[in-house]
Amino acid sequence: MANKCCSPCDQVVHMGWVNERLEGTDSSQTFRPKFLALKGSSFYVFSSPPVSTLDWVRAEKIYNLCEVRFKVHKFWLTDDCWLQASFYLGLHDLDFEDQRPYCFSVMVGHSKSHFFNVELGSELAVWEKSFQRATFMEVQRTGSKTYTCSWQGEARCFTVDFAVGFTCFDSKTKNVLWRFKFSQLKGSSDDGKTRVKLLFQNLDTKQIEMKELEFQDLTAVLHCVHSFIAAKVASVDPVFIDSQSITRKYMYSN
């Protein structure tokens, strides 16, 4: 029904109820119901479902899909399983965020995250698949995203382009300083704050070139790079993306 009033580029991919862990809570971890939606270019967080056009702009949070990252939390343990795992493995060996089952987080800009839980494994699988689909569609619609940055002490612009790859150009003259394809990116590292080092392979010399850039919101840029690369891989090999799904085994559970 919501899509009847939306243009083709602003369709709802998926929406529904989840539980969100409140920020700043202790180990008892308080959760409250939230209504999430993947629509057009954005990921929405509501306290109640939108029922009119105006409700969409009144969401609690709105994020660009290219700049968020969906993450499934691999371990979901009941109290009994928790005790057994603690005894046999030791708590330090477990990669966990919460004892509730079927948890996922959505990492957003400035290193912040929303942590959610759903009731069924099949729901978790649908959210994971929906985020992949919505992000892929948005990358294709957008085509490219450009961010201001600093390189070699000067103001620059850094563009992630679905067709071209990575381009850095002077913010004043618009002259291209360097350009690499997605396939030339061989590694990266960052300081968790503002700086990232990108390692590219020069196709002529086969040598690795390091480009160190500084961004105001590094997290958003890294998520964008991840979104574009994932979309590029999906456009070439859709089966590969599906094979990476952590929750695919829950599609038919419960």
pLDDT digits (tens, 9 = 90+) for 70-111: 999 875 444 444 333 333 334 334 444 456 789 999 999 999
User: What is the third-level CATH fold of 143-238?
Assistant: PH-domain like (2.30.29)
pLDDT at 3: 83
pLDDT at 2: 75
Residue 236 vs residues 12, 19, 141, 199: alpha-carbon distances, Å: 25, 35, 17, 23
22 vs 156, higher pLDDT: 156
Residue 100 vs residues 67, 76, 97, 168, 192: alpha-carbon distances, Å: 27, 6, 9, 44, 28
Rounded average pLDDT over 144-168: 97
pLDDT at 184: 97
Chain region(s) in the chain for CATH 2.30.29.30: 2-141, 143-238
Q: List, in sequence order, every residue forming a beta bridge with 115; answer none if it has no partner.
A: 105
Rounded average pLDDT over 182-190: 96
Residue 12 vs residues 54, 75, 105, 158, 241: alpha-carbon distances, Å: 15, 30, 20, 30, 22
- At a CB cut-off of 8 Å and minimum separation 6, what does 239 contact? none
Which CATH class name applies to 2-141?
Answer: mainly beta
Q: Residue length, the chain?
A: 254
Residue 192 vs residues 64, 96, 184: alpha-carbon distances, Å: 21, 21, 23
**Alpha-helical runs (H) found in the chain:** 79-88, 121-142, 218-236, 238-243
For residue 167, pLDDT beyond 70: yes
Q: Which helix (DSSP H) or strand (DSSP E) does residue 61 occupy?
A: strand 61-64
